[in-house]
Amino acid sequence: MSEKDPVTELDARYSSEGATARPWQDAAALLAEAELYWLSTVRPDGRPHVTPLIGVWADGALHFCTGPAERKAQNLIANPEAVLTTGANALGEGFDLVVEGRADQVTDEAGLTRLAAAWEAKYGADWHFDVRDGAFFTEAGGRALVFAVAPRTAFGFAKGEPFGQTRWRFT
């Protein structure tokens, strides 16, 4: 099954009467447009770690970068399972998304070059990255590892009327 056609289900327990499941294409568009995401990882001792970050939706995955010594990078090296969330910080309107999957490091130069261009196009010249040695580099010389999280399972939470919870399962 491809990224374009996951199994889509509306959970009636958490949805108003008349609500319908949202198509994955709507969720993917929201993932592409979001400015900020929250990344949840697990520390080696089992405690959770959550941090906001920016990212780019491309090639069926949400991409983010981090310095190799940062807590999130260290967590992902020990346990690559991750959850990314984004949405509207309001109770009565908007659409929230939760993406569960494995964070895999991106190291191929062609892919990183495309992602660096996408970062700059989305966030502006302040987010320019050079690519070398399988990573992003800033002008100041800082190295950033790039990770991709392809959804294994994703959830969408429509707020307001009608409200509803959609689940997308990828196989």
The reply to whether 1 falls in a domain is no
Predicted local confidence at residue 2, as pLDDT = 44
The reply to whether 103 falls in a domain is yes
Instruction: Provide the residue range defining the domain that includes 54.
Output: 7-169
The reply to whether 55 falls in a domain is yes
Predicted local confidence at residue 3, as pLDDT = 53
> Is residue 48 predicted with pLDDT exceeding 80?
yes
The reply to whether 62 falls in a domain is yes
State the pTM of this model.
0.94
The reply to whether 2 falls in a domain is no
CB 84 within 8 A of CB 91: no
The reply to whether 140 falls in a domain is yes
Other residues' Cβ atoms within 10 Å of the Cβ of residue 149: 24
Q: What is the pLDDT of residues 97-128, one digit of tens each?
A: 999 999 999 999 999 999 999 999 999 999 99
> Is residue 86 predicted with pLDDT exceeding 60?
yes
In the chain, % of residues over pLDDT 90: 92
Q: How far apart are the first and last CA of the chain?
A: 6
The reply to whether 116 falls in a domain is yes
The reply to whether 49 falls in a domain is yes
Predicted local confidence at residue 141, as pLDDT = 76
| 90: CB partners within 8 A, 6+ apart | 159
Cα 37 to Cα 34: distance, rounded to the nearest angstrom: 7
Predicted local confidence at residue 98, as pLDDT = 98
Q: Which tokens sit at 143?
A: 């190295």
- Quick one: 137 exposed, middle or buried, by C-beta within 10 A (0-12, 13-18, 19+)? middle
- CATH code of the domain containing 38: 2.30.110.10
Tally of domains in the chain: 1
CB 113 within 8 A of CB 119: no
Name the one residue in this structure whose structure tokens are 């981090």.
66
